[in-house]
Chain A
Amino acid sequence: NAGVTQTPKFQVLKTGQSMTLQCAQDMNHNSMYWYRQDPGMGLRLIYYSASEGTTDKGEVPNGYNVSRLNKREFSLRLESAAPSQTSVYFCASIGRDRGRGLNEQYFGPGTRLTVT
């Protein structure tokens, strides 16, 4: 059980280049999320997917697109990277703690992206 995995771990892009960040979870969770983490600003939600086939905007969606390919995978695409998108990106999924009946978020290790 690998939990939430993300690729790549590091990436450097030039302004205007495109790339896709991959995320997968093997916990059979319905909901998946993409966050960005910037110094002094905490984590902010970019997009989320409540279930396979659905996606919704979060707090900071501009400049990004997402695809919920299947229940396991949720990818984040930067079509034309900008320096303001330099950040650490985290994918997360939410699952139910059966013992307490509560939903709990599980995070991937992150992708550190630099746009020059």
Chain B
Amino acid sequence: KQEVTQIPAALSVPEGENLVLNCSFTDSAIYNLQWFRQDPGKGLTSLLLIQSSQREQTSGRLNASLDKSSGRSTLYIAASQPGDSATYLCAVEGTGANNLFFGTGTRLTVIP
């Protein structure tokens, strides 16, 4: 069974810093990897989706990379802002599966 791990579980940074969130997965036979944002008491919002054949995706200040062979993905956030404070989850979709396997998330706090 696919297992997805996110480290650290929580992270606090001062406003303006660049930061990296990490995601690792045990089975490299994936179809795609998705990064989500979850605000307290809310649902999940998709941030970036990387197909297994891709190495990275960018959206504004966010850049997600994927190294399928090593089972790792990173989410890079440039010039962090207090509005970036949320929990960030990564999820992998296996080939032939109708399921996303989620990590437990990294809770990010950006301090003004």
A: residues with CB less than 8 A from B are: 4, 31, 33, 40-45, 48, 50, 56, 58-59, 90, 92, 97, 100, 102-110, 112
Contact = CB atoms under 8 A, between A and B. Distances in A.
Identify whether the interface residues of A are mostly helix, strand, loop, or mixed.
strand
Interface residues of B, number: 22
B45 A107 contact: yes
Q: Which of B42, B51, B100 has the most CB of A within 10 A?
A: B100
Interface of B: 4, 32, 34, 36, 41-46, 49, 51, 89, 91, 93, 98-100, 102-105
Given A90-B44, A105-B34, A107-B44, 12 more contacts: A41-B104, A42-B4, A42-B102, A42-B103, A43-B100, A45-B99, A56-B98, A59-B99, A109-B42, A109-B43, A110-B41, A112-B41
Given A90-B44, A104-B46, A43 B99 contact: no
Q: Which of A43, A56, A97, A104 has the most CB of B within 10 A?
A: A43
Contacts of A40: 104
Give me the 9 closest cross-chain CB pairs, A-B, nearest first. A107-B43, A42-B102, A107-B44, A43-B102, A109-B43, A42-B104, A45-B99, A110-B43, A48-B98
Contacts of A97: 49
B42 A42 contact: no
